[in-house]
């Protein structure tokens, strides 16, 4: 019996112009054209998208969640990056 | 409890989702693979009893509706297989488990669709029961499963409505059509109630699945909820639910209903239902007959890649 799977692809949809592409799901396909056609047939059956990206799952690089604490640490103590850090006189408007 | 287990438990307690690469107990992973793949197999096998009637639908309106529904089931199977694959099992292995009988699918699909009105009854009752379960699962603790369920629930309500519309036509049709509708209700009612699984006391996985927030409601609660919403729908059709013990209980605020035939349930689960053998054989045959297509597509893709690399 053949055991070889078609490669796995991730599907990203732009639901309408003006919005980002958002991950919609995944599928198996032999090549990029088939991945795109299958993504259209499965993930946009009810006009959910105006644009589709597909990328082979193995090409996505992700951070390791077990190390996310140290990975995201540089941002956690920098409250001065937020507008509320700065004190404004109460009577001031439009700022 | 080590720090990984603690972090996992904290997420559950705070209603945060568990995502694919997060640490999770091995049993949680196994339970999810079993449940999600069983769910995926049910979508795929569930195409068979309905597909049986596509060529014989009585009108174009019914035919396109049924065709679109069966197409959706294929999509639902895909969403669920994809969710299962995020847990580190591959598609070929999932298919192997189905084809070798290791994995189960919903027993409801082991009953035959012997008349056109069965298609109406399936949409109304079987999809109705599935929706109860699936709405609950949109809040499951595993992110990919919950997200697949959101997509599925959005699409599923059309399934139930196309079934009920069919029942309305038949129930308001000729005497013969009405009898046909009643006969379908008679045959599909009890198997639909069985879809929610064994009663709480008998269900081996329930307690743990609830603790892990994979399930949010017990089998018996979901079953009661289904009976409560479905009885008035049967009354509207002027059809009689085949249960002499069915009666509104003012005190409980729910319908009381008769005892399910659990012997029948377990027999079908064990593989002795009317269509178990036929369903599995059809699936295996479709898979084997498609092997050359999968191989040819892969060979073509490899050839294209080689051509590109040599340019």
Express each pLDDT in B250-298 by its tens digit.
999 999 999 999 999 999 999 999 999 999 999 999 999 999 999 999 9
Structure tokens at B218: 């017990």
Tell whether the model's pLDDT for residue B1 goes beyond 80.
Answer: no
Closest chain B residue to A8 measured between Cα atoms? B82
Long-range contacts formed by A45-49: CB under 8 A, 24+ apart: A45/B71, A45/B72, A45/B75, A45/B155, A46/B155, A48/A13, A48/A15, A48/A24, A49/A13, A49/A14, A49/A15, A49/A24
Tell whether the model's pLDDT for residue B22 goes beyond 70.
Answer: yes
Out of A5, A8, A31, name the one closest to residue B304 (CB).
Answer: A31
- Contact between residue B122 and residue B50 where contact means Cβ atoms under 8 Å apart: yes
Confidence band, pLDDT 50/70/90 cuts, at residue A3: low
Confidence band, pLDDT 50/70/90 cuts, at residue B305: confident
Which tens digits make up the pLDDT trace of B134-188?
999 999 999 999 999 999 999 988 999 999 999 999 999 999 999 999 999 999 9
Tell whether the model's pLDDT for residue B40 goes beyond 70.
Answer: yes
CB-based contact B82 A26, cutoff 8 Å:
yes
pLDDT of the residue at A1: 42
Neighboring chain B residues of A26 at a CB cutoff of 8 Å: 82, 85
Tell whether the model's pLDDT for residue B237 goes beyond 70.
Answer: yes
Compute the average pLDDT of residues B206-212. 90
Say whether residue A66 is in contact with chain B using an 8 A CB cutoff. yes
Write the DSSP assignment of B212-242 as a string of letters. TTS--S-HHHHHHHHHHHHHHHHHHHT---S
pLDDT of the residue at B309: 74
What distance in Å separates the CA atoms of residue B290 and residue B68, rounded to the nearest whole number? 22
Considering only residues A61 and B205, tell me which one the structure prediction assigns the higher pLDDT. A61
Q: Tell me which of 3.10.20.520, 3.30.590.20, 2.60.120.10, 3.50.40.10 is the CATH number of domain A3-62.
A: 3.10.20.520
Closest chain A residue to B148 measured between Cα atoms? A25
- Min Cα–Cα distance to chain B from A79, Å: 24
Neighboring chain B residues of A25 at a CB cutoff of 8 Å: 78-79, 82, 147-148, 151
- 10 Å Cβ neighbour count for B142? 27
Tell whether the model's pLDDT for residue A2 goes beyond 70.
Answer: no
Confidence band, pLDDT 50/70/90 cuts, at residue B311: low
Residue-range domain boundaries for chain A: 3-62
Closest chain B residue to A25 measured between Cα atoms? B79
Closest chain B residue to A65 measured between Cα atoms? B22
3-state secondary structure of A24: strand
Compute the average pLDDT of residues B52-57. 95
Give percent of chain A above pLDDT 70.
Answer: 96
Tell whether the model's pLDDT for residue A7 goes beyond 60.
Answer: yes
Q: At what angle do helices B143-171 and B127-137 cross, to 10 degrees?
A: 160
Neighboring chain B residues of A28 at a CB cutoff of 8 Å: 91
Which tens digits make up the pLDDT trace of B67-121?
999 999 999 999 999 999 999 999 999 999 999 999 999 999 999 999 999 999 9
Mean pLDDT over the full length of chain A:
92
Chosen from B3, B20, B82, B157 to mutate, greatest number of chain A CBs within 10 A: B82
Compute the average pLDDT of residues B215-235. 97
pLDDT of the residue at B310: 72
Name residues whose C-beta falls within 8 Å of residue B277's C-beta, 6 or more positions apart in sequence.
Answer: B271
Say whether residue B91 is in contact with chain A using an 8 A CB cutoff. yes
Tell whether the model's pLDDT for residue B240 goes beyond 50.
Answer: yes
Out of A25, A31, A65, name the one closest to residue B82 (CB).
Answer: A25
pLDDT of the residue at B67: 96
Tell whether the model's pLDDT for residue B308 goes beyond 80.
Answer: no
């Amino acid at each position: 019996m053949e055991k070889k799977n078609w490669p796995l692809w991730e599907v990203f949809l732009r639901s309408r112009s003006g919005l980002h592409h958002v991950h919609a799901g995944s599928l198996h396909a032999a090549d990029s054209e088939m991945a795109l056609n299958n993504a259209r047939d499965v993930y946009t059956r009810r006009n959910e998208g105006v644009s589709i990206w597909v990328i082979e799952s193995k090409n996505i690089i992700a951070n390791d969640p077990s190390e996310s604490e140290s990975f995201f640490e540089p941002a956690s103590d920098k409250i001065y990056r937020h507008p509320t850090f700065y004190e404004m006189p109460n009577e001031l408007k439009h700022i | 409890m080590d720090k990984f287990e603690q972090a996992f438990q904290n997420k559950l307690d705070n209603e945060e989702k568990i995502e694919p690469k997060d640490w999770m107990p091995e049993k949680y992973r196994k339970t999810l693979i079993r449940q999600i793949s069983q769910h995926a197999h049910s979508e795929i096998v569930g195409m068979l009893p309905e597909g049986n009637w596509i060529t014989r639908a009585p009108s174009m309106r019914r035919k396109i509706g049924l065709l679109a529904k069966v197409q959706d089931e294929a999509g639902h199977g895909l969403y669920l297989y994809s969710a299962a694959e995020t847990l580190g099992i591959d598609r070929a292995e999932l298919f192997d488990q189905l084809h070798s009988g290791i994995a189960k699918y919903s027993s409801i699909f082991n009953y035959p669709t012997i008349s056109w009105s069965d298609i109406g009854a399936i949409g109304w009752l079987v999809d109705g029961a599935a929706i109860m379960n699936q709405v609950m699962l949109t809040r499951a603790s595993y992110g990919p499963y919950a997200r697949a369920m959101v997509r599925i629930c959005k699409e599923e309500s059309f399934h139930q409505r196309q079934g009920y519309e069919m029942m309305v036509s038949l129930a308001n049709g000729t005497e013969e059509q009405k009898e046909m509708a009643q006969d379908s209700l008679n045959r599909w009612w009890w198997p639909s109630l069985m879809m929610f699984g064994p009663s709480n006391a008998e269900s081996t996985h329930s307690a743990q699945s609830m603790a892990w927030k994979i399930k949010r409601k017990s089998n018996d609660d979901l079953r009661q909820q289904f009976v409560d919403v479905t009885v008035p729908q049967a009354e509207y059709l002027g059809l009689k639910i085949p249960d002499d013990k069915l009666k509104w209980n003012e005190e409980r605020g729910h319908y009381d209903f008769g005892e399910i035939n659990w012997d029948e349930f377990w027999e079908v689960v064990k593989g002795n239902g009317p269509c178990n053998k036929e369903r599995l054989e059809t699936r295996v045959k479709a898979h084997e007959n498609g092997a050359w297509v999968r191989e040819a597509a892969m060979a073509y893709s490899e050839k294209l890649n080689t051509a590109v690399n040599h340019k």
